[in-house]
């Protein structure tokens, strides 16, 4: 399949004539998704989503419950459900759209799902070892423990017994233990007490300083926007806003209409 051939039903859609990586303010996008359409069975959920991200940017992907945020992240990570029937995904000049999820992962896409997927029976350290079982390896364990001292203290503890906040730290640490190019965080603050949210926020700030290109999905839109350069708002599976994070923070109407805050 050629690089520009698109998957699925191409009947009424047209592939772009050239590399779809758009030119944004003179800088090439590092990541772009173009006209993604995804389904759960007959259920048409992601309805033509487009956005792009420059290297090192943090993008907040926002919207009400059921807007399609998780489905969009899963489409990008190439999970089997929802099934992406049409669209293109590019990361660092690589086409991702025809890949399976394990190939997308090998090519640098790391999805940290809402449920954090802590593996029972493994300690913190074993969980990190497992993430590094095969190349490409990212941060060393030493570096991870330096950035996540709570994990260092608990390295011998069984990971399922960690607190919610610590489990979130481990989920992010496991992603960084691999050599990744795009970090997709689905509701990293979900179910965490405000004080723990602040701790995770500090970790995300340090990830930001390290220049990790990141998409953050969050119900706590203000917290996500404070960390983000840009924002995309989804509503019923479509992009209804694409702009700077500051524009969303400044625009009460937009927030009331699509974010209920
Ligand atoms: N496995 C599934 N099968 C069928 N429909 C699904 C499935 N998962 C999600 N959906 C539907 O897809 C729509 C979008 O769901 P999605 O989880 O992407 O929303 P979301 O924006 O992440 O919402 P939330 O903020 O509640 O996490 C919803 O209407 C949901 O019911
Ligand atoms: Mg969700």
Contacts of 76 (CB under 8 A, 6+ apart): 33, 36, 89, 96, 104, 109, 111, 182, 184, 215
Residue 176 lies in a domain: yes
**pLDDT tens-digit series, residues 13-50:** 333 333 444 444 456 799 999 999 999 999 999 999 99
Using the atom order of ligand 1, give the atom closest to the CA of residue 64.
25
| 237 domain-assigned | yes
Measured from the Cα of 81, ligand 1's closest atom is 1
Question: Both tokens of residue 117?
Answer: 């997927």
Tell me the per-residue pLDDT of 121-146, one tens digit each, with 9 for 90 and over.
Answer: 999 999 999 999 988 899 999 999 99
Question: How many domains are contained in the chain?
Answer: 1
pLDDT higher at 62 or 27:
62
| DSSP state, residue 117 | T
Please report which ligand is nearest the Cα atom of 234.
1
Query: Is the CB of 206 inside a 6 Å radius of any atom of ligand 1?
Result: no
> Does residue 117 sit within a domain?
yes
pTM for the whole structure = 0.90
Q: The domain that contains 251 carries what CATH number?
A: 3.40.50.300
111 assigned to some structural domain: yes
In a domain, residue 2? The reply is no
Contacts of 229 (CB under 8 A, 6+ apart): 57, 58, 59, 244, 245
Domain housing 198? 23-258
The verdict on residue 9 lying in a domain is: no
DSSP track, 17-67: SS----EETTEE-SEEEEEEEEEETTEEEEEEEEEEE-TT-EEEEE-STTS
CA of 113 to the centre of ligand 2 (A): 9
Q: Tell whether 67 is covered by a domain.
A: yes
- Three-state DSSP at 143 gives helix
Q: Is residue 18 part of a domain?
A: no
Token pair, residue 251, equals 């625009």
């Amino acid at each position: 399949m050629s690089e520009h051939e698109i998957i699925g039903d191409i009947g009424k859609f047209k592939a772009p004539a050239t590399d779809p990586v758009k030119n944004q303010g003179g800088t090439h996008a590092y990541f772009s998704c173009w006209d993604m359409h995804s389904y759960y069975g007959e259920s048409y959920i992601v309805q033509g989503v487009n956005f792009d991200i420059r290297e090192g940017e943090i993008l907040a992907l926002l919207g009400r419950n059921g807007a399609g945020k998780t489905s969009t992240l899963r489409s990008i990570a190439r999970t089997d459900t929802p099934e992406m029937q049409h669209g293109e995904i590019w990361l660092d000049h690589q086409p991702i759209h025809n890949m399976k999820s394990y190939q997308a992962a090998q090519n640098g896409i790391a999805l940290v799902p809402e449920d954090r997927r802590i593996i029972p029976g493994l300690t913190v350290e074993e969980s990190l070892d497992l993430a590094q079982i095969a190349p490409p390896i990212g941060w060393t364990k030493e570096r991870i423990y330096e950035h996540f001292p709570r994990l260092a203290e608990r390295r011998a503890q069984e990971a399922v017994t960690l607190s919610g906040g610590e489990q979130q730290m481990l989920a992010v640490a496991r992603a960084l233990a691999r050599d990744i190019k795009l970090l997709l965080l689905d509701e990293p603050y979900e179910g965490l007490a405000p004080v723990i949210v602040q701790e995770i926020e500090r970790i995300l700030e340090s990830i930001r300083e390290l220049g990790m290109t990141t998409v953050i999905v969050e119900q706590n839109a203000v917290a996500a926007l404070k960390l983000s350069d840009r924002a995309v708002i989804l509503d019923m599976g479509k992009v209804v806003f694409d702009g700077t994070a500051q524009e969303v923070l400044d625009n009460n109407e937009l927030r009331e209409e699509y974010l209920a805050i």
